[in-house]
Chains A and B, each alone.
Chain A
């Protein structure tokens, strides 16, 4: 019923070779970048790959480097590596914090950020925050490389927009500046989170007013998404905003097409969005009473 079928692992020396291997094996092959989700799907016959192309052995895909105003994270970096990276801890503490709470330490030591994004599990954490941070991605294939935005990567549950044979190689995230505030909050009762919410704010005056905002919601829909209707409602003075956070919360809930399922009723999820938008806001602005 659930015994892993036989498969072969291939270890390419370069991204180009990995891409070629995938084209060669066709539909019977998939990329392998940690396997914490892939192997479960294979065990349950949701995927039936006979060949896995191992991206973790490709030199250079597991580095984390400061690159001016950005931090470039190799797609084969494990969650644990991101969580413990000096660059990330210093320049993107919100991402380090998120990564330190992904699944459990065994998953974090094995699963990779690129694998996580490309697998597009609807209840994953990193994609939601990276949407709000406007991360840029690099994808490479046999014919060259291209850049794409986070919003262009995931287009459905377990579905990404990469071309066959194309490999996500780098996640480039803008560093936090003194006038930025951000937070990622999640609600988790099961093995995977039921709700994830990321908030990014720009403030010219130490969190008294907010000039720009980005908000992304994850886990409640088939894939994480920015909610621009809500972002427009998240600018202005802090005191005003705190009074009318219910409006952007409703906008987020409206956009998410909430359903009754085993994670909870639509009404409860809507309520949670209100609770967690407020918590994200308080945490982002550094309110010490934030839960």
Chain B
């Protein structure tokens, strides 16, 4: 993407919600902040309120800005959160924010199960998109054209499987926004030269039954969380 001529910062809003995956949020924002050192891209975490919310670890976090304070970001990034993402589909203010901000955003991204929130906002209808491999079947139930892959692009929508906290794909995004050289510099700074002690993963082993089981375990929570969106609840549980 070419750099704009006028000297205005380009805001990248990173969306937070209760139970958000901390690594998705932190890894994405760290990479984007590194990009900010040499460009006009500025990442900002947004949430319903600038008050403490839970993450998917014992650490609680406080987003920098309220949704209303960042109405027209250049880009939107929605991190994952597993079941918490599914529950957040029932969060009306969050979904309304995504719908509103999408109008002017030039780029709309999700990491892992963040794609469910884009789907809940109706933004992925008839679009090709991806999510965490374990949630593929579920995303299809919401009418999304699921594509297997590390990252899938359809128009201004970039959905990432969120493997490894989205580090790989966020570096890819930096290369797209700026250059491959910039991405490599950030990679060196965060010393991303991975050596998993037991090697990589064999995704062929992905366990669909486990997701069904997890869904059943959270059925009550989801029923409550999605009380205002019976359409989504119906699609998820059929």
**A complexed with B:** no
